A and B are shown apart, each in its own frame.
Chain A
Amino acid sequence: MVVTTSWYLALGAVLFSLGAVGLLTRRNPLVMFMCVELMLNAVNLTFVSLGAELGDLGGQLSVFFVLVVAAAEVVVGLGIIVAIMRRRQGATADDLSVLGG
């Protein structure tokens, strides 16, 4: 069988869905973050696949920037999580509901 682009895209779709489900389901903020990473990876895979199909470097270029931003995001996000988690041991995402209406 020839591996076409749509295989990669399908894999990316599945990975993205799994990441979404995980984000909605898990309560531990760090695991939720990891699920976000999963989704970002799925997107990266999609970008690269399409870039390869269209014969353009733009896909890989986008992935480069996604990578950078994801890294920065992880840094800041973990800093926030540290700041919150230090107050209370074992806090989950459900405990931060001050903005409820």
Chain B
Amino acid sequence: MLDLVWLIPSLPLAGFLVLTFGGKRLGEPWAGWLATGAMAGSFLATVGVFLDLAGRDVQDRRSVTTLFEWMPAGDLRVDVGFLADPLSLTMCLFITGVGALIHLYSIGYMHGDGEFPRFFTYLNLFAFSMLMLVLGDNLLLTFLGWEGVGACSYLLISFWFTDEANATAGKKAFVTNRIGDWGFMVAIFMTFFTFGSVAYVDVLDTTAAGTVAQSTATFIAVMLFVGAIGKSAQFPLYLWLPDAMAGPTPVSALIHAATMVTSGVYLLTRVNPIIADAADWVPTMIAWTGAGTALFAATIAVAQRDIKKVLAYSTVSQLGYMFLAVGCGAYVAAVFHMVTHAFFKALLFLGSGSVIHGMDGDQDMAHYGGLRRFMPITAGTFIIGWLAIAGVPPFAGFWSKDEILAFAWNESPLLWAVGLVTAVLTAFYMTRQVVLTFFGRHRFADPRSDEVDAVWAARLAGADEGVEAARAAVVDAEAALEVCRGAATAADEAAVTEAEGVLSAAVDALTAAEGAVADVRAAADVRPDLPVLALAGAPDVGAVADELPDAVADRAAHHPHESPWTMAFPLVVLAGLSVLGGLVQLPFSSTTKRLEHWLEPTLFHNEVHLSIGAGTLWVLAVIAVAGGAVGIAVAVAAYGQRRIDHTAFERPILAEAWRFDRKVSDFMGGPGRTGFDATAAFDRKVVDGAVEGVATLVRREAGLLRRFHNGLVRTYAVGIGLGAVGLVLWFLSRSSF
């Protein structure tokens, strides 16, 4: 079975090729079923290879299958081959498994979309690239997959590219990733320079034998770290992930929760011998970057209103946890959290997609509320995902997060404190999200503030028109009076009096109309502001309640609906995995630490051993659970029972993500643009100028030399004479005196 490891990436590749050429003809829904079938087949192949590998002895659990020679270039020999070992197979299992579920989900989610086949083409291409990334037996193949997933991420984020904001988000993701890719490339160059090969077998075995200089290992580790923070959205290269929510929700689930963003963690885990050989500040830097990013992102998630943005920042935060684990030397914990995170984050994203689907595309949580009555399955599975991420035992997230916190305490109490605060915040904002979405009163039927404003504006406009009409009437009446006065003689008193009466009536009408305008304005001034989150009751719209547009009534009549079985089934499966996922690595005894044993051959004994006792572990666990409970309680109090004012938490600076994105844009637009323009000008003037300058120089010299060709024989004779003088001079120089 191990020989069939090539099937794992080939089936999605085959799916991609078939869909590229025949996708339009297959159409909906067969294109989707084909892609899902390819992923399911890949999953079965993975299971087969896994069982084969698990059946072997521990020292045999690494096998390299070479397909063909790719680049024999002098000293560099790169083959296309697959490294099937515990780490890569763990990744493959959840990539193909969760991926297949997400493909199934997409059939329901993308129903009715005009570009249905294209979506699955890209999804399969992504799966192929991701599998090449984890299965590749050398750094270059990993880089191939790395770039491939970056490109597919761009294609999928900007899937609905007719809206320019989506296209820009895709570009931002690609460009930000590119910065990280530079680091990766430099690391590959240095690796080849140092080891003469880029294959993992050569590099890692040589490094583990201890023959690499510390400075080299440090350099390679730092460069790979740069690549990892780009792909795994750590500070400062996290900017693309929130914007990437512009893509369809299955994309967010697959790429930005479960698979692509974990590539950075995978890479660092794969090269753990190099990190172990690097200087001591390298793991510390990794750990602090992870912890800092985790806290940073968690604070932002507290104030987000878009359901997907909360989850995006949550992903950045959880990836920070994984980096923290890697930095503390806890590779097993990092991989464990990667696996459980794949389960519950994919579940949460797919659940949010189900909610969005049911709310007909509305992503603002201020318009949700009480949806559990309309979408019970979605609500139930989402709640399970919530419990998992909040770290509530015995769900999967609790075990993995706790493991990381234990290793953080082992490394430095300060790191542990940051992790704990982040855990509290995670519990808080996830509870907030659940309460706002599924509990409380139905806010989808509430009138929106823009609608109310429109009504008031219409009223005001109407009153203003009345004033204009009254004014016109007054003018007419005055004119009539003048005519009367002018035309009539003194005998026509009655006509004049009548005209005066008409005038006074018109003046009274004008006064009344102006009064009405003033009344409307006064009423508009004192009208109550609509609250951002109408948690207590329906918002009081004041005097315009009966003039609201029909859209409000339509919304009230059209209830949100539950999703079809293609979307609900993956939710249920993932919920089950989120419950049971913790079983692979329970910290109670050596036998229950199955993941650790399984991953042992890939770790080269670089896994840090906990130097704290079981008692301390229990205390830490209790504190973590208590912290989670505090977060949940505060969120319920603020959003559910309304005992705490929720606006105290949702500060504007948090909603604007600490304005970091804007600072980066300003920098790039200002000094950055100056730099780019300077570089472009340099290229134009110096580089191109040099080339063109040569031509100009030649032309000018030729122009100067032309003057010697005047056609006169005597000038040429002078030239000959000078040549003769030169010749004799040479002879003179060669003779002795």
Contacts and interface: CB of A to CB of B under 8 A. Distances in A.
A98 interface: yes
A93 B721 contact: no
Interface residues of B, number: 11
Most chain B CB within 10 A, of A23, A96, A98, is at A23
Interface string A72-101: 000000000000000000000110111111
Q: Is the interface of B mostly helix, strand, loop or mixed?
A: helix
A6 to B, nearest CB: 14
Contacts of A20: 721, 724
A24 interface: yes
B718 A24 contact: yes
A20 B719 CA distance: 12
A97 B717 contact: no
Interface in B712-728: 712-714, 717-718, 721, 724
B712 A100 contact: yes
A24 B711 contact: no
Contacts of B706: 101
B709 interface: yes
B710 interface: yes
Given A24-B718, A96-B713, A101-B706, 9 more contacts: A20-B721, A20-B724, A24-B714, A24-B721, A94-B712, A97-B710, A97-B712, A99-B711, A100-B709
B601 to A, nearest CB: 81
Contact of B710 (A23, A93, A100): A100
A57 B147 CA distance: 89
A101 B718 CA distance: 17
A100 B721 contact: no
A96 B714 CA distance: 10
B25 to A, nearest CB: 70
Contacts of A27: 714
A101 B711 contact: yes
A98 B709 CA distance: 11
Contacts of A96: 711, 713
Most chain A CB within 10 A, of B706, B710, B718, B724, is at B710
21 contacts: A20-B724, A23-B717, A24-B714, A24-B717, A24-B721, A93-B712, A93-B713, A93-B714, A94-B712, A96-B711, A96-B713, A97-B710, A97-B711, A97-B712, A98-B711, A99-B709, A99-B711, A100-B710, A101-B706, A101-B709, A101-B710
Interface string B677-720: 00000000000000000000000000000100111111001100
Interface of B: 706, 709-714, 717-718, 721, 724
Q: Is the interface of A mostly helix, strand, loop or mixed?
A: loop
A58 to B, nearest CB: 21
A94 B714 contact: yes
Nearest to B725: A20
B35 to A, nearest CB: 74
A27 B717 CA distance: 12
Contacts of B718: 24
A100 B714 contact: no
A15 B713 CA distance: 22
Contacts of A94: 712, 714
Most chain A CB within 10 A, of B706, B710, B713, B718, is at B713
Nearest to A96: B713
A27 B714 CA distance: 8
Nearest to B712: A97
Contacts of A93: 712-714
A23 B716 CA distance: 11
A93 B711 CA distance: 10
B367 to A, nearest CB: 85
A27 B710 CA distance: 16
10 nearest A-B residue pairs (beta carbon): A100-B711, A97-B711, A101-B709, A99-B711, A100-B710, A97-B712, A93-B713, A24-B717, A101-B706, A93-B714
Contacts of A23: 717
A2 B496 CA distance: 156
Contacts of B709: 99-101
A54 B568 CA distance: 119
Contacts of B724: 20
Nearest to B716: A99
A43 to B, nearest CB: 13
